[in-house]
Structure 1
Amino acid sequence: MSYWISTILLILGIYIAISVALYYLQDYMLFKPEKLPKDFQFDYENQKTQEYNLETRDGATINGLRFFPKGESKGVVLYLKGNSKSIKGWGKFAVDFTRHGYNVLMVDYRGFGKSTGKRSQKAIKRDLQLVYNKIKEQTTEDRIILYGRSLGSGFATKLASMNHPKLLILDAPYYSLTKVTARYAPFMPLSLLIKYPLPTYKWLKYVQCPIHIIHGTHDKLIPYKTSVKLSQIKPKLTKLHTVIGGGHKNLNNFESYHNMLDDILNREPKTIDLETTSINVNHSSKKTKEKA
């Protein structure tokens, strides 16, 4: 009996030790920041940029870049990036929006690039709302587009749920970060341990603007079926764009992705008069014959 008790206690001890490690080390596992020196100079070929810094109420600094279109601006895209590196590398994707006439704002989360401050889900949400408020000081909300990529999709959804942007675009979004991590640690109590649950599916319920979801069918990190589930939350406002063969990090290498962005950014949605369609027509026209 003592042998089994000792074994159970050992297993329980290991389980608790792993749980504690997951709780305290998750920042290192979830975030892959690239830090930049304060004097680093951003430089992008054929892109006009302006660097800015925002001071938060708790003394942190949020560093960002603004990319300008060549002609008259149609509005602003607030681009919320993924969990790796800094805006130094992510900046090269701004051209996908400036070429359509939009200003692009990118920011580094706390601990990324030149941004400082203690990182937490609450702090990042507060920082991004501050950025959004600064954009509203310069333009109206009907000219603001939120674009969330991977990790940024949850934060973009939260912002959209609390404000009234023109559009919300989610690129390879997750249902919740708890669900993503559960794939790699299915036996751990992640709902209690994870400090960044980022429940995109909950926040999406409160979004009132048009929602566009872009996802690749070969995404191994966040499965395509995730976006299918998200698209069913607000079906009347949501359009799902499928990149056949697209993975998690290479959607920009597909022509179809750029065609999708063109449709989203440049074509106003049309209202369809459903009374003039076949929406109420049943596919089967078989009639039951009455017996004489």
Structure 2
Amino acid sequence: MKIDLYTVIAIIAFITLFIGLVIYFFQHKFFFHPEKLPPDFKFAYDHLKAEEVTVEPEPGAKINYLHFIVDHPKGVVIYLKGNTKSIKGWGKFAIDFTRLGYEVIMMDYRGFGKSTGKRTVEAMKRDSQFIYDLAKKEYSEEKIIVYGRSLGSGFAARLASRNNPRMLILTSPLYSLLRTIHRYLPFMPAKPFLRYNIPTFQYLKSVRCPIKIIHGSDDNLVPLSTAADLSEINPELTRLYVILRAGHINIHQFEEYHRVMEEIFEERKVIIDAEKTSLGYSHRK
């Protein structure tokens, strides 16, 4: 049976539209994998002291977060987590900052843990800014560090672009959700169907504080090239750290990750005397 060109085009258009509608209506299931917690759930962690707080950033929404406390804090880290589970499990990572003398504020996105409310990308942006504003009531911005891991990197970058924190740290960051879709569906014009795009790369253009990017060399979910591309957006303020053999979800299981964290938080500035280095040398001369 002979199929004419118009029929082929119609079939391709139908398939593209079908996939686009699947992306549009079900992307919240692709991008978010929440764990819901009962209202009476009690958070408890070894070697960590945490206060549970619930706030109402706007009518119809409640945001639940943990404030991890240390004696004589040097500052606070606003931790924006990945797209899975709840702060019940993510909370244990606060130790990576409390051991360095920093308190941690870690929130659950809407629909995660005990947080409630309609989840949209704009609502999530407002919620993270609301938490940042709460932190500013207790800390000056020069003592606030914004940390984003995986999906949280986009919200972290946006916070840093609209505020003046001391530092922005991104671990295993996404370039954008649109690029993530294109990686798996390169033929798909997904932008018109995307409701949750979080363009980390766009936000980084407006960040004015130091930017630290940490990425695993063996990250199969978000390739290392993503971090390299992000590091080139605002290069004068950015430093990229590569954790050899680390993947996307296990980067914290490598000692080098924790050595890098110590180096970042120490902020030891080294002044280079260009005249005493090979900076001006050329093989051609």
What amino acid does structure 1 have at the position aligned with 2:111?
A: G
Q: Does 1:251 align with 2:251?
A: yes
Q: Does 1:28 align with 2:68?
A: no
Which SS does the other structure have where 2:169 is aligned? strand
Moved >6 Å (runs of 4+): none
Task: Indicate the percent of aligned positions where both proteins have the same amino acid.
Answer: 50
Residue of structure 2 equivalent to 1:212: 212
Which SS does the other structure have where 1:46 is aligned? coil
Residue of structure 1 equivalent to 2:136: 136
Distance in 2 separating the partners of 1:206 and 1:78:
19
Distance in 2 separating the partners of 1:29 and 1:62:
22
Q: Does 1:121 align with 2:121?
A: yes
Distance in 1 separating the partners of 2:229 and 2:61:
36
**Cα offsets for 1:120-173 (capped at 9, x unmatched):** 111101110000000001110000001100000011000000000001000001
**Cα offsets for 1:53-89 (capped at 9, x unmatched):** 11022420010001112x3100000010000000000
| TM-score for both structures, normalised by structure 2 | 0.95
Residue of structure 2 equivalent to 1:55: 56
**Cα offsets for 1:204-236 (capped at 9, x unmatched):** 010000010000000000000111111111111
| TM-score for both structures, normalised by structure 1 | 0.93
**Cα offsets for 1:184-204 (capped at 9, x unmatched):** 122222111111221111110
Residue of structure 2 equivalent to 1:64: 65
Distance in 1 separating the partners of 2:181 and 2:12:
22
Distance in 1 separating the partners of 2:256 and 2:68:
24
- Cα deviation for residue 284 of structure 1 reads 3.0
Residue of structure 1 equivalent to 2:145: 145
1:1-292 superposed matches below 5 A? 4=4, 8-69=9-70, 71-285=71-285
Distance in 2 separating the partners of 1:153 and 1:225:
16
What amino acid does structure 1 have at the position aligned with 2:28?
A: D
- Cα deviation for residue 276 of structure 1 reads 4.3
- Cα deviation for residue 3 of structure 1 reads 5.2
Give the paired residue count.
Answer: 284
- Cα deviation for residue 2 of structure 1 reads 9.0
Distance in 1 separating the partners of 2:8 and 2:284:
64
What amino acid does structure 2 have at the position aligned with 1:40?
A: F
Distance in 2 separating the partners of 1:12 and 1:208:
44
Which SS does the other structure have where 1:159 is aligned? helix
Distance in 2 separating the partners of 1:264 and 1:7:
55
**Cα offsets for 1:104-124 (capped at 9, x unmatched):** 110001110000111111110
Distance in 2 separating the partners of 1:153 and 1:10:
38
- Cα deviation for residue 278 of structure 1 reads 2.8
Distance in 1 separating the partners of 2:17 and 2:139:
51
Distance in 2 separating the partners of 1:62 and 1:243:
33
What amino acid does structure 2 have at the position aligned with 1:120?
A: T
Distance in 1 separating the partners of 2:7 and 2:233:
48
**Cα offsets for 1:225-258 (capped at 9, x unmatched):** 1111111111111111110111001111111000
User: Aligned pair in 2 of structure 1 residues 3, 228: CA closer, same or farther (>3 Å)?
Assistant: closer
Residue of structure 2 equivalent to 1:290: none
- Cα deviation for residue 11 of structure 1 reads 4.2
